[in-house]
Amino acid sequence: MATIEVRKSCSKTSYRARVRVKGYPQITASFARKTDAKRWAAGIEADIHSGRYFPETHHTLSDAIKRYSDQHLPQLKDAAKRSQHLSWWNNQIGHMRMSDIKSDTISKCRSILQTQPSTFGRHRGRPRSDATVNRYVASLSSMFSRAVNECLRRYLYYVNGCHEEKLSTLNRHKNHHYRL
């Protein structure tokens, strides 16, 4: 539910819109016009109810790569190669916030990767093959999947108070595929 508060200072009036929906943190913003505040609040409420609202985060790709490298990479057989792939991604777009990375950003980086010559192994100096480029993208995709799953896990715990038993049940059933 949205509420609009009038805030008066010495010389001007501002309007604070506050959106409160069960299961989500309170969201507020200030506006100079009441109409803008109402419009913003209605839009946020609509996004929340339709499942399109995701709170803004300030986590960078570099943060996610570091967390993935520390927690998940040592358990993999091809950890050295994946580390090399993620290091390249970190050098290219590690400074970007996770929420700002879109498919066109990855496509541009993929084009750069295809044109750069290989810097490792017996193919040093030659252009990377399509299969190698796909492996770089697969390494990034795997890291993104882990980051999203961890974020979802924290979110479910925050919103629903899910305990580890409930989360492990979710993970167990997530991998089952049903036939129609």
64, 96 in Cβ contact below 8 A?
no
pLDDT tens-digit series, residues 112-161: 999 988 877 777 888 888 899 999 999 999 998 888 887 766 655 555 55
- At 94, list the tokens: 């590690």
Residue whose C-alpha is closest to residue 164's, from 174, 154, 176, 149? 154
84, 65 in Cβ contact below 8 A?
no
- DSSP reduced 3-state for 164: helix
pLDDT tens-digit series, residues 67-82: 999 999 999 898 999 9
In a domain, 180, yes or no: no
71 and 6 together in one domain: no
Residue type, 146: R
Total residues belonging to the chain: 180
80 and 169 together in one domain: yes
Residues spanned by the domain of 116? 61-174
27-31: strand order across its sheet: 2-8, 13-19, 27-31
169 and 81 together in one domain: yes
Name the domain count of the chain.
2
99 and 147 together in one domain: yes
74 and 123 together in one domain: yes
Q: What is the mean pLDDT of residues 40-50?
A: 86
Could you give the CA distance from residue 95 to residue 59 in angstroms, rounded to a whole number?
A: 10
Residue 42 is predicted with a pLDDT of 92
Q: Indicate the average pLDDT of the chain.
A: 81
27 and 66 together in one domain: no
Q: DSSP state, 128?
A: P
Provide the pLDDT confidence category of residue 47 given band limits of 50, 70 and 90.
confident
Query: The tokens 């969201």 sit on which residue?
Result: 27
Classify strands 13-19 and 2-8 as parallel, antiparallel or unpaired. Answer: antiparallel
Residue 29, strand partner residues: 17
To the nearest 10 degrees (0 to 180), the angle between helices 61-71 and 79-93 is: 170
146 and 88 together in one domain: yes
87 and 136 together in one domain: yes
Neighbours of 100 (CB within 10 A): 11
26 and 75 together in one domain: no
